[in-house]
Structure 1
């Protein structure tokens, strides 16, 4: 079980014992948490999602220090995915440490991963976030803190590049987003993974090493162990920070385009229903793609299944019209071109 954080180290000579200085890595993690929590709306607690690994454990220790000083209650939740032997015991150990560290509430959230769609990583992630959202609503939390670091962000960008993702994928993980009305907050996206490990060491915390993080069966583990280190060797240590910064820059551009697309979607709605082909054709490609994506979701296409090829098929009805039949969206939703409009439905009777 991770031990309780020790008292702050003794102050160096010449410094008041009332104002000891934490280790630099500890200070870096605390500062990141303080920046995010300062001014956070709502009076409810923040909940730290903690697996017991070095990133989330450093985040939890920093939150236990910072939140009370900001007058913010802090709880901790740990998810038991039941994917490895001893997972329940590890989750209880994390919960036990959290209680000694002053968190309230503290909960273990067991989830079922088997039988969910997608690969094992995606299924576990979906189950985890569902459990976190339910817990946050139960405790009227102001947000859930997640321990993703700058290194995680760089890995996410590389994986997105490998998949041929567009700006949404290359934007990486946002610092803040809402899932079913619950704010998910990532205060450590500018903190290096080496700092979270160093912070745990400085505080005497023993972190759990998840074997999935080094299992080459998982793409992210291969990126972490091989691809990103190879880039660092070839291009220098600034690669990690540069990839993370790229994600922030693209995220800002994507947000601006999304705003333009939201207004454009309203502008191209046709009086008889559907979207005006002429209005769509007049839009810049980047805006039109977003308009079509948003409209497909309005029609009921499941977001997780809606891909670039579906949007490209809709776009072809506008920009490459040759009298072709309907485009088919996930959820068994045909869309056809009729009387200068894109409308839901198959070929007319």
Structure 2
């Protein structure tokens, strides 16, 4: 009996991510115990054998559900049974104030994964996001009017993280687990309509498939790849412009006005981040306000997440820490 197509699809995605790795390198896999991450972990263990890579499986306990600590223990045991070289678990505190539960959990998760990556000396952390997750991200970005950066979806690789399964359907990760006899956990949060992503998954995408025909998920994911190419090209142009336009005195307003809006707003975003604004909370509305302030379309100040305030001088847009009341 040949290799199950779903198992082959997952392994192929992992093989592409690990193709240039050298023997002895360490790869870390983030595993929740769900089908996506367990299929990813199993495939990584298999694909790591030939090049001689060390595989570390890690799970993060967000403490958001009853019995989460016990669940983390089960995931650690399951990762060990699948053949990883080492396991780790970490519990994080999720503070949803100002962010919401999903965003706060994501921030806490990435913070601890980054710490674990450094601890184990891993070249990269593999994440189990699938093509379905990508399609959901694109739809959410469209609904929020978040601009091309959100429509471009999740990056395949970024700052020590890789997503090998963005071309793999969620149905394939489930099928891969079933084919390999891997039991997986069904996260109750994935059925909670209180989360926008769940509503997109359970209600919106099925309607689109019914009304527009099958293949919508793949089409949305492909759109993300196409937009991502454009976003990355503009980001590279903006980085070059940033080095010319932004200096110790701030953002040169005259130079900024000469830039195309798509480049100028990116320069301002980079300048705000350099001044200490929070990346995850710096939205389109903030950058638009910065652009209007710099070009003189509005007066006053613009307060940014991260306790940073922007104000316009005669020749430069400048940033300073936001004054604390009282």
Q: Which residue of 1 aligns with 2:300?
A: 325
Q: Which residue of 2 aligns with 1:194?
A: 171
User: What is the rounded CA distance, in whole Å, between the counterparts of 1:316 and 1:105 in structure 2?
Assistant: 52
Residue 199 of structure 2, aligned match among 222, 236, 241: 222
Q: Given the alignment of the two structures, is residue 45 of structure 1 paired with residue 26 of structure 2, yes or no?
A: yes
Q: Which residue of 2 aligns with 1:126?
A: 107
Deviation track 1:266-307 (CA, whole Å, cap 9, x = no partner) reads 22236x722222211111010000011111112222223322
User: What is the rounded CA distance, in whole Å, between the counterparts of 2:305 and 2:285 in structure 1?
Assistant: 11
User: What is the rounded CA distance, in whole Å, between the counterparts of 1:302 and 1:42 in structure 2?
Assistant: 37
User: What is the rounded CA distance, in whole Å, between the counterparts of 1:260 and 1:294 in structure 2?
Assistant: 12
Is the CA contact 1:42–1:142 (under 8 Å) kept in the aligned structure 2? no
User: What is the rounded CA distance, in whole Å, between the counterparts of 2:297 and 2:77 in structure 1?
Assistant: 63
User: What is the rounded CA distance, in whole Å, between the counterparts of 1:189 and 1:65 in structure 2?
Assistant: 19
Q: What is the TM-score normalised by the length of structure 2?
A: 0.92
> How far does residue 27 in structure 1 lie from its aligned partner after superposition?
0.7
> How far does residue 116 in structure 1 lie from its aligned partner after superposition?
5.8
Structure 1 pair 85/274, CA: closer, same or farther in 2 (3 Å)? closer
Q: Which residue of 2 aligns with 1:285?
A: 261
Deviation track 1:3-46 (CA, whole Å, cap 9, x = no partner) reads xxxxxxxx4xxxxxxxxx21111111111111111103784311
Q: 1:157-176 to 2 correspondence within 5 Å? A: 157-176=138-157
User: What is the rounded CA distance, in whole Å, between the counterparts of 2:233 and 2:295 in structure 1?
Assistant: 24
CA RMSD of aligned residues (A): 2.0
Residue 77 of structure 1, aligned match among 43, 58, 81: 58
Structure 1 pair 214/267, CA: closer, same or farther in 2 (3 Å)? same
Deviation track 1:114-164 (CA, whole Å, cap 9, x = no partner) reads 466521111221222122111111110111111100000000111111111
Q: What is the TM-score normalised by the length of structure 1?
A: 0.87
Residue 136 of structure 1, aligned match among 94, 104, 117: 117
Structure 1 pair 42/295, CA: closer, same or farther in 2 (3 Å)? farther
Q: Which moved more, 1:213-222 or 1:312-321?
A: 312-321
> How far does residue 70 in structure 1 lie from its aligned partner after superposition?
2.1
Q: Which residue of 2 aligns with 1:68?
A: 49
Is the CA contact 1:43–1:142 (under 8 Å) kept in the aligned structure 2? no
> How far does residue 50 in structure 1 lie from its aligned partner after superposition?
0.9
Is the CA contact 2:94–2:108 (under 8 Å) kept in the aligned structure 1? yes
Structure 1 residues without counterparts, runs of 5 or longer: 1-10, 12-20
Q: Secondary structure at the match of 1:228?
A: helix
Structure 1 pair 116/39, CA: closer, same or farther in 2 (3 Å)? farther
> How far does residue 109 in structure 1 lie from its aligned partner after superposition?
1.7
Q: Which moved more, 1:153-162 or 1:69-78?
A: 69-78
User: What is the rounded CA distance, in whole Å, between the counterparts of 1:280 and 1:214 in structure 2?
Assistant: 47
Q: Which residue of 1 aligns with 2:279?
A: 303
Q: Which residue of 2 aligns with 1:315?
A: 291
Q: Which residue of 1 aligns with 2:324?
A: none
Could you say which structure has the larger radius of gyration? 1
User: What is the rounded CA distance, in whole Å, between the counterparts of 1:160 and 1:220 in structure 2?
Assistant: 11
Q: Which residue of 2 aligns with 1:59?
A: 40
Aligned residues: 321
> How far does residue 225 in structure 1 lie from its aligned partner after superposition?
0.3
Q: Given the alignment of the two structures, is residue 155 of structure 1 paired with residue 136 of structure 2, yes or no?
A: yes
Structure 1 pair 234/198, CA: closer, same or farther in 2 (3 Å)? same
User: What is the rounded CA distance, in whole Å, between the counterparts of 2:269 and 2:96 in structure 1?
Assistant: 28
Is the CA contact 2:302–2:309 (under 8 Å) kept in the aligned structure 1? yes
User: What is the rounded CA distance, in whole Å, between the counterparts of 1:31 and 1:124 in structure 2?
Assistant: 30
Is the CA contact 1:57–1:207 (under 8 Å) kept in the aligned structure 2? yes
Is the CA contact 2:22–2:53 (under 8 Å) kept in the aligned structure 1? no
